[in-house]
Chains A and B, each alone.
Chain A
């Protein structure tokens, strides 16, 4: 009894912080989503709207487009980062010249704030100022203008995110690889397994918990990306890189449409949870092997 009370007392600060920073804002957003509330409407007070905001979402082409773009962005960056990150982690398990230097340089992007990453990429890509459009045009005759060509803008945003976050994937997978017991691998080699078999049947299953954690973190980050995209493209050209985070920001702040923005936020949260859950189920499903 006494130890239980002590335990709760020790947990109390955390619970209080969690309630204030997590639970209460969530409840506030949930309540707001059932109201029409725009500060600059004829009636600036919240008006009960029942589920209208959620109904609007289903028919909102801009919102649906931003969801689609976000999912596409998430898929591209996730697959790229996991593939490259895994390859680099495996590479760093071996010895090679300048390994420490490479590891330090490779990790540098992680230390830069997303807003600064976006600003740096913008400086590099603005026509008339940035080196990338200049050299692409002079060396290859490519007209590189993020603000004009949607495909270039989308690809650049994906590349920027890969550049920024692959080191995170590398580091977490490297930590996982370092802790793997070497005996099963050695045993497999003795039994004549080749490298592909070792990777596919031993390393990958053993890395599943680390991979799953890394993928979840990256999915959640990718679904809520805002700052670096805002700096690089501001969601343009048109709305071709207006991912859901940016879209919600525009609805909630410049448009001050709080009710509708809250509904969008909730739906996005729901979507994130569903995606993570589906992925979890898919990755942890036991494979039944024929005897």
Chain B
């Protein structure tokens, strides 16, 4: 009798448990056949969502996902137009960390904290915003409510070629020429020397090898970003040199955009171009990664989303197994400022998915946000996109295995991530960037000196902020 009961219970449990235990099919039942649409930049993490996670979500819930990954410019163009017009084309949009302040200022996004509180049936019992790394803080408003579920986060690190840096002959030659041991650069002089050395090494040996990468596109904001988010902070110029109390940029008015440190930083960075691959002045973040992966540069700053595939994917990279990772060099005192929380040494980049108010399928989109935030899907995603957004992902055995192959990039990110920072909280991010970027372009091609470029940038920034109403006319 007992055995019969046991068997009956077992069968009943077996039949019932998929429906009870599978939150996704239960929660998705009401939205069967619904199609949610999203847009993002075509990056390794987003492409993984499109190719792997979206189809799995459809399988689990019956909700279709049309996820468009496009160029960075087009992504912004499409998302902002849709949200501004309220046309409801997209049910979820990519929010790059630096765009969140603009989006919040325009009230484009749904408050996800409130939405979850109001719709408990839509909340996966295992989901919690507390699972995320501190990167989620960038997507909160002043009350601590979350407006975007982080889907990628990475730091822009200094990559170098271990095979070159550890080659005894090369080391000896470098030592002989510069009088100190070849190692990842700790100072700007070392960065310069290494760049010069390997460019000459490439010429002497008939190799397409150059000293450093430089993200110096002369017609694309990528160069502006590399300078203001990665190089200027290394010289102690933070937040684009804008004084956030007075909304001024020039030294004359209390800013640091054209300060001696900024001029020194720009001079150093522009000088590196002559040691960079010839494509450097046409390179955005993608091309920099491709140049490094093609073995065309000995060192350089590369976005972490590319670090893992460069180090591990032999189909796309010719330097697999030879990639070293380190923190970038800093000027005197900058590291101490970063450690004290008063500065930073580079860009903590990343983004989240948010739901526009104009979305017509908010509930289904919310389920998708939760689905991609599951700990189970994070490890493979980290391998594909070099990104980590949950604390638990660092301890995943698969991630630790990748970490070892990438010269401990993830460990570096975990231990030193707090030395990096996202973009400053400027709602006018795009406006000031677009107004000032042409001066960086002109400096790259030599039409302006660093001092002239920065003076013009500071002046233009102040004019722009005045036009936008941040300072009195």
Contact = CB atoms under 8 A, between A and B. Distances in A.
A127 B277 contact: yes
Interface stretch (A142-150, A186-194, A205-213): A142-150
Interface residues of B, number: 39
Interface in B47-88: 73, 76-77, 80-81, 84
A256 B281 contact: no
B102 interface: yes
A233 interface: yes
A253 interface: yes
A7 interface: no
A41 B217 contact: no
Nearest to B439: A238
Given A128-B296, A255-B431, A239 B277 contact: no
B434 A250 contact: yes
B434 A145 contact: no
Contact of B430 (A40, A42, A148, A240): A40
Contacts of A44: 106
B282 A147 contact: yes
B106 A128 contact: no
Interface stretch (B25-33, B326-334, B412-420, B440-448): B440-448
A147 B218 contact: yes
B438 A43 contact: no
Interface in A26-44: 36, 38-44
Residue from B218, B430, B468 with most neighbouring chain A CB atoms (10 Å): B218
A164 B282 CA distance: 23
A150 B218 CA distance: 10
B219 A235 contact: yes
B445 A238 contact: yes
B279 A127 contact: yes
Contacts of B296: 128
B281 A128 contact: no
Contacts of A250: 434
B435 interface: yes
Contacts of A150: 445
Contacts of B469: 41-43
Given A234-B217, A238-B219, A238-B441, A40 B105 contact: yes
Given A40-B102, A256-B431, A238 B438 contact: yes
Contact of A40 (B77, B278, B291, B428): B428
| Secondary structure type dominating chain A contacts | loop
A236 B219 contact: yes
A237 interface: yes
Interface in B334-389: none
Contacts of A148: 218, 281, 444-445
A126 B438 contact: no
Contacts of B431: 38, 40, 255-257
A201 interface: no
Contacts of B73: 254
Interface string B430-473: 11011100100110110100000000000000000001111000
Interface in A223-281: 233-242, 250-251, 253-257
A217 interface: no
B430 A239 contact: no
| Secondary structure type dominating chain B contacts | helix
Task: State which size class the interface on A falls in.
Answer: 35 or more
A287 B391 CA distance: 83
B208 interface: yes
A128 B291 contact: yes
Nearest to A62: B438
B279 A239 contact: no
Interface string B253-279: 000000000000000000000000111
B427 interface: yes
B161 interface: no
Nearest to B273: A148
B37 interface: no
A40 B435 contact: no
A250 B73 CA distance: 10
Interface string A26-66: 00000000001011111110000000000000000010000
Given A40-B430, A62-B438, A233 B278 contact: no
A51 B281 CA distance: 39
A40 B220 contact: no
B106 A238 contact: no
B278 A128 contact: yes
Interface in A133-154: 133, 143, 145-150
Given A128-B208, A234-B219, A237-B219, A42 B468 contact: yes
Nearest to B84: A39
A73 to B, nearest CB: 16
A236 B441 contact: yes
A224 B445 CA distance: 26
Contact of A129 (B217, B279, B430): B279
Contacts of A133: 278
A147 B219 contact: yes
A239 B441 CA distance: 8
B48 to A, nearest CB: 24
A233 B217 CA distance: 10
Contacts of A251: 434
B222 to A, nearest CB: 10
A256 B434 CA distance: 10
Nearest to B442: A238
A40 B468 contact: yes
Given A41-B468, A237-B441, A255 B218 contact: no
A183 to B, nearest CB: 55
A163 B73 CA distance: 27
Given A127-B277, A147-B217, A254 B282 contact: no
Interface string A76-105: 000000000000000000000000000000
Contacts of A36: 467
Contact of B427 (A40, A127, A128, A237): A40
B49 to A, nearest CB: 25
A230 B294 CA distance: 26
20 contacts: A39-B80, A39-B106, A40-B430, A42-B468, A42-B470, A128-B208, A128-B278, A133-B278, A147-B281, A150-B445, A233-B219, A236-B441, A236-B445, A237-B281, A237-B441, A238-B445, A253-B77, A255-B431, A255-B434, A255-B435
Given A147-B281, A255-B431, 4 more contacts: A126-B282, A238-B445, A254-B73, A254-B430
Closest 8 CB pairs of A and B: A236-B219, A42-B469, A127-B278, A237-B218, A234-B219, A147-B281, A147-B282, A128-B279
